[in-house]
């Protein structure tokens, strides 16, 4: 995930009436025209009830801290036959029930064909 401007984030979060769930948070952000980077961060939040702006901020910080490492990626994608498209990669990941963090990273990948695990790893690094 790209870095989120913390000042913009706090300003956006302080204008919200709590508690609210992820769907309400997304709806609010879209209606108010909140910064695209913040909206992307909201979309990656877990589906749960948020009690305060601090609650949302902490969840965003946890997502930012969590990155996919190469060992984790290799473990989750060990049985893939290359080359494959992003669509096929996501289909494999969902069928195998791979790690949620890896699945979220794969969903952010550009739509293209991937020839090796190294291609996927590089694309994930560039998208974080």
Express each pLDDT in 50-93 by its tens digit.
999 999 988 887 776 667 888 889 999 989 999 999 999 999 99
Same domain, 59 and 79: no
CA 26, 107, 95: angle at the middle one, nearest 5? 115
Same domain, 57 and 81: no
What is the domain count for the chain?
Answer: 2
pLDDT at 65: 64
Q: Which residue has the higher pLDDT, 1 or 127?
A: 127
For the stretch 88-92, contacts whose Cβ atoms lie closer than 8 Å and that sit 24 or more positions apart, written own/partner, are 89/114, 89/120
Residue 1 lies in a domain: no
- Please identify, among 65, 80, 106, the residue that sits at the C-terminal boundary of a domain: 65
Residue 81 lies in a domain: yes
Same domain, 61 and 19: yes
pTM over 0.85: no
Same domain, 60 and 13: yes
User: Domain residues for 83?
Assistant: 70-127
Are the C-beta atoms of 124 and 93 separated by less than 8 Å?
Answer: no
- Please identify, among 46, 65, 84, the residue that sits at the C-terminal boundary of a domain: 65
Residue 75 lies in a domain: yes
CA distance 45 to 32: 18
């Amino acid at each position: 995930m790209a870095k989120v401007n913390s000042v913009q984030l706090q300003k956006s979060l302080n204008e919200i009436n709590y508690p609210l769930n992820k769907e309400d948070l997304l709806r609010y952000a879209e209606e108010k025209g909140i910064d695209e980077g913040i909206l992307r961060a909201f979309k990656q939040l877990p589906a749960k009830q948020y009690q305060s702006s601090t609650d949302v901020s902490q969840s965003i910080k946890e997502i930012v801290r969590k990155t996919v490492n190469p060992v984790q990626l290799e473990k989750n994608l060990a049985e893939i036959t290359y080359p494959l498209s992003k669509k096929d990669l996501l289909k494999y990941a969902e069928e195998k029930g791979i790690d949620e963090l890896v699945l979220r990273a794969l969903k952010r990948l550009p739509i293209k064909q991937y020839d090796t695990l190294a291609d996927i790893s590089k694309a994930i690094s560039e998208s974080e």
